[in-house]
Chains A and B, each alone.
Chain A
């Protein structure tokens, strides 16, 4: 609450922001879902967004590739502002990778086809090139041997890793993760988090909505706490976890860390 745009800027003033969100407001009917959000994301920065359910954290990252439409304020991704212009929206979407809570793989396509579809669609890559890139990325997420299977034949953890590889196949500049481990069985969370940590180490810009505080502690440059559509607090992980300023953050942390 008491953090201003100015203090954000001083924290990360040395690099140019890849995403600039200013005075963002969004309503669902009468419900005010996002209230005056200001956020700059720098290149290679890793941001973890947490908060209670209904706090608007998913809505916020879904606004960035316009899966949700905002009513006020502006979002600028890599120099292009999000407007109603379909061409611009698609341009931004092709540069912003997204990983969903429920994987959202194409059930009728094999793992490999899932990965090559968008590059062939949007990037107009020849099939051979797309296949090569996809296999390389499937190797990175350690499931190249499953490339000819259908998503329904894989475990949840494997499906989510395919979803990460699929998003990476577009060679995005930013990756958005919308609660990527919330729909997984506990034993599969680790394999997905490991993949995400490797991705973070490779220098990808990442915005991650998650309740995995271990992951936040390890990877994040900045942790953002949201409640009731507002950014309540943001800090680097050490200070965020050891010395939260607002009462709401303290309450939230005590609730999820004691489990």
Chain B
């Protein structure tokens, strides 16, 4: 009768042993391979540190000028450029310059990593339905699993520091670029693909000259989303030792500093808006053929 009133479950000791064996297994894995994996990520660490130092050691007027130039060439909008300059002046004036530079550095590196890993994965997914059915659930997991859960193995494996933080950011931020690359390529008009096939083009030619250019609006939307998601991970990343705007936010949470929290939070928002507007208008300008067509 107890079978009906009580859910059949694993015995307490069994369950404990089960969890313990997983933990121990992973610990052994960490012991054996942790260092090798750490070494593997060393170049990324050097790059991140180098970029951070570059941002911090360059006199601020030069940084300001290069940001203005980048924004201008990305968006070709004077309004946006002036807005960016004003925003960074306020950020600097409110003593958030250094944290902002650190955040910029980690976001830049995370974006580069996500793009260079994500786009090829997206291309592979677009090429075969089987790959797509395998990778899609993995992306779902990456996007929905609470970040703290995958922070545990990452920290166990790599300890606390910049690289685990970067990894955490990338795990969270990579799905959109993968998904939208895949989608963009799959959405390329069948007729157009048929035309390139009829010429006897190779897979690589079709991919590079037809599919990717036509998928660019979607790929760019993916890059944009990836940057946004990376920025939203800044606070969580700062919990495991990443410098930047997340650190003061964390401090503000634990000490109930309202102003500090809001200021740094808004600085993240400003960065997000700038990245978003610039990358979007840059993506749009790459699509010259969409500007003046009457039916395209």
Contact = CB atoms under 8 A, between A and B. Distances in A.
Given A100-B191, A104-B192, A107-B214, A89 B200 contact: yes
A122 B196 CA distance: 11
B199 A118 contact: yes
B287 interface: yes
B213 A91 contact: no
Contacts of A13: none
Interface string B183-224: 000000101101111111110010001100110000000000
B188 to A, nearest CB: 10
Contact of B199 (A108, A153, A170): A170
A208 interface: no
Given A91-B200, A121-B205, A100 B293 contact: no
B203 to A, nearest CB: 9
Interface in B96-138: none
Given A104-B195, A106-B210, A150 B296 contact: yes
Given A104-B192, A150-B296, A153-B294, A93 B197 contact: yes
Contacts of B192: 104-107
B199 A67 contact: no
Nearest to B293: A152
A83 B200 CA distance: 14
B232 to A, nearest CB: 32
Interface in A136-153: 150-153
Q: Which of A67, A96, A117 has the most CB of B within 10 A?
A: A117
Nearest to A150: B289
Contacts of B202: 90, 121
A169 to B, nearest CB: 9
Given A104-B191, A108-B213, A67 B197 contact: yes
Interface string A85-96: 000011111101
Contacts of B205: 121
Interface string A101-119: 0101111110000000110
Contact of A108 (B191, B195, B201, B287): B287
A96 B288 CA distance: 31
B57 interface: no
Contacts of B201: 90, 118, 121-122
B292 interface: yes
Contacts of A151: 289, 293, 296
Contacts, number: 82
A98 interface: yes
A180 to B, nearest CB: 13
Contacts of A152: 289-290, 292-296
A75 to B, nearest CB: 15
A104 B293 CA distance: 16
A153 B198 contact: no
Contact of B198 (A67, A102, A105, A106): A67
Interface residues of A, number: 27
A230 interface: no
Q: B-side binding surface: helix, strand, loop or mixed?
A: helix
A109 B290 CA distance: 11
A65 interface: yes
A151 B189 CA distance: 14
Contact of A150 (B195, B197, B200, B293): B293
A108 B198 contact: no
Contacts of B294: 152-153
A154 to B, nearest CB: 9
Contacts of A121: 199, 201-202, 205, 209
Given A67-B194, A100-B191, A153 B200 contact: no
Interface string B251-293: 0000000000000000000000000000000000001111011
Contacts of B199: 93-94, 117-118, 121-122, 170
A93 B198 contact: yes
A109 B295 CA distance: 15
A118 B195 CA distance: 10
Nearest to B290: A152
Contacts of B296: 107, 150-153
B200 A100 contact: no
Nearest to B292: A153
Interface of B: 189, 191-192, 194-202, 205, 209-210, 213-214, 287-290, 292-296
23 contacts: A67-B198, A89-B200, A92-B200, A93-B199, A96-B198, A100-B195, A104-B192, A106-B195, A106-B210, A106-B214, A107-B192, A108-B287, A108-B289, A117-B196, A118-B196, A118-B200, A118-B201, A121-B209, A122-B199, A122-B200, A150-B289, A151-B296, A152-B296
Given A106-B192, A106-B210, 4 more contacts: A92-B200, A107-B192, A107-B289, A118-B201
Interface of A: 65, 67, 89-94, 96, 98, 100, 102, 104-109, 117-118, 121-122, 150-153, 170
Q: Lowest 8 CB-CB distances: which A-B pairs, in order?
A: A152-B296, A152-B293, A93-B200, A90-B200, A104-B195, A118-B199, A94-B200, A150-B289
